[in-house]
Amino acid sequence: MSRRRGLAGIVLLLAVTTAGCESGSPPSPDAGATGTAVPSASSRSAPSDDPHSSAGPWTGACPAERAAPDPDRPVVDVDFSLSDDGRTVTGSESVVFTPDLPTGELVFRLVPNGPGSSEKGNRLTVDRVRGDDVTRGHYEPAAAGPPGGRYVLPLTRRLAAGESTEVLLDFTLALGEGAFDRVGTADGASWWASGAPLLAWEPGVGWAHDPFAGLLGETAISPAADTTLSVEVPAGMTVLMTGDQAEPSAPRDGRRTWTSSEPAARDVSVAAGDFTTAETIVDGVRVTAGVLPAGNDGGDGAETRAQALTDATAAALTALVDRFGAFPYRTLTVPQLTILGGGIEYPSSILLLGPPAGVLVHEVAHMWFYGMVGNSQFRDPWMDEAFASYAESVVTPVDPPAVATVVARAGDVGASMEEFPSNGSYVTAVYGKGAAMLLAAREAAGAAAFDAAVRCYVDARAWAIATPTDVATALAGLPAARDVLVAAGALDVDDLPG
């Protein structure tokens, strides 16, 4: 996620050579949302004999090709239905879960109940659960608003590693007043991202019981899942969401159903409204941007604004592909809402809250960092936010003296979400210093060698949940770069391979 003014970290850091940040904005945070994401393989049956899957530890060898999603990843199907007044989503979520470690429960994170979001009237409740191995679950407060921030579903039998269970959760999501958030309704549009119970499993580790943080940033962790979505909305609404979308159904009783599929998504985003859309194909990816009639970019007509947003997204995508390799998804949707604040990344979809300037490249970069290469957003927030902020440099001129100044500041880039006392300290360390650290590391190692190492990391850890050790492994042959990350507090000696 990126709050416009939150970009102050990197933008100010590069202010010597750029236009600087938005005027009139307090130097406050950036933050979080959730994103999640997935691969370009198609359909839900990934080849189980694929010789190169992202499951398992990375030894450091640069893969000949990008890792495929885990063939045993969760299979998630979610049906959403938006009420005619746009304020309530009812849904049902089917999950087929195959743990790689033994477990006796399922744990879901209820992101809309987190601090900040719940206070705006957003609320996610689980109404009913079904499945051969479950009876009833319970909420855990986890410092979230009612009914709680996690939903724990005990299993009536213990699953062995590799053994599957299927559960169905019916849920209700109340959408609060629109704000810079993942969930809300405003000006005739409704949007919900992280709007369904989110499977909180970290392969190789187990369930994430992380608390929520009082900061404007994401705290989720979730595996890439083979995902299918169905969204029923009033017939006059257009849906832009995660996944490769099919044409909507014909109107029936004043309603239409939109569907999509994404073979590897950690989370999903849905926006419904009177969107005017424009579309283009770039680097084999279908980019679709949508704008609302109210207009939030001046006096241009909706078609002009939609086309401009599509073109800007396509340009960002191309610049990032040049640096980080193939785009992770077949499609990318960018619904622009009337609420202001910044951008929030999701697998193959970006909620744009306000104008794209200053946040679009960052959010598109999250498709690689968090969407494809996952991380614990609670434990290691820098692993997606520092990389996404660093990635802005593909279009933003870099001023080495300014970078050196920022990277020398106090603060550990690698701190967890509970270690930052304020939004300001979080943004300064993770976004600003984190980006500067990676720029300085690139300078120290040489651009070509550093870019090659990052590509190896991206390809090796695609669709997995990466750790700081993976970054240290990627930089093992570039000690000058690795030393920069150690000095900045992103890596410690325990992360270093060997």
Site map 384..423 versus Zn ion, x via CB under 5 A: -x--x-----------------------------------
Which segments of 104-155 does DSSP mark as H helices, in order?
A: none
Residue nearest to Zn ion (CB): 2
- Please report the beta strands in 63-134, taking only residues with DSSP state E, as ranges in sequence order: 75-82, 88-97, 103-109, 123-130
Would strands 285-291 and 255-265 be described as parallel, antiparallel, or unpaired?
Answer: unpaired
The reply to whether omega before 400 is within 30° of 0 (cis) is no
Q: Which tokens sit at 138?
A: 């319970």
When asked if residue 486 is in the footprint of Zn ion (CB under 5 A), the reply is: no
Minimum distance, C-beta of residue 2 to Zn ion, in the bound complex (Å): 4
Distances (CA, A) of 400 to 386, 406, 407, 408, 442: 17, 10, 10, 12, 11
- Does residue 107 contact residue 161 with C-beta atoms inside 8 Å? no
Piece of 3-11, 318-326, 383-391, 447-455 that binds Zn ion (CB under 5 A): 383-391
First-to-final CA distance of the chain:
34
Nearer to Zn ion, 2 or 228 (CB): 2
Minimum distance, C-beta of residue 25 to Zn ion, in the bound complex (Å): 17
Nearer to Zn ion, 280 or 396 (CB): 396
CB-side exposure of 471: number of CA atoms within 13 Å?
30
Minimum distance, C-beta of residue 426 to Zn ion, in the bound complex (Å): 12
Q: How many residues interact with Zn ion (rule CB under 5 A)?
A: 4
Minimum distance, C-beta of residue 31 to Zn ion, in the bound complex (Å): 8
Nearer to Zn ion, 302 or 388 (CB): 388
When asked if residue 2 is in the footprint of Zn ion (CB under 5 A), the reply is: yes
Element holding 35 (H helix, E strand): none
Q: How far apart are CA 236 and CA 299, in angstroms?
A: 24
Nearer to Zn ion, 6 or 176 (CB): 6
In single-letter form, the type of residue at position 300 comes to D
- Return all residues near 134 (Cβ < 8 A) that are at least 6 apart: 106, 153, 154, 155, 156, 165, 167
> Position of tokens 């999640």?
36
Q: How far apart are CA 425 and CA 377, in angstroms?
A: 16
Nearer to Zn ion, 226 or 384 (CB): 384
Minimum distance, C-beta of residue 21 to Zn ion, in the bound complex (Å): 15
Nearer to Zn ion, 100 or 385 (CB): 385
Nearer to Zn ion, 89 or 372 (CB): 372
Q: How far apart are CA 279 and CA 309, in angstroms?
A: 10
Piece of 36-44, 280-288, 371-379, 382-390 that binds Zn ion (CB under 5 A): 382-390
Minimum distance, C-beta of residue 487 to Zn ion, in the bound complex (Å): 23
Piece of 1-9, 77-85, 205-213, 333-341 that binds Zn ion (CB under 5 A): 1-9
Nearer to Zn ion, 76 or 361 (CB): 361
Minimum distance, C-beta of residue 66 to Zn ion, in the bound complex (Å): 22
Nearer to Zn ion, 2 or 336 (CB): 2
Minimum distance, C-beta of residue 310 to Zn ion, in the bound complex (Å): 21
When asked if residue 117 is in the footprint of Zn ion (CB under 5 A), the reply is: no
Return residues touching Zn ion (CB under 5 A).
1-2, 385, 388
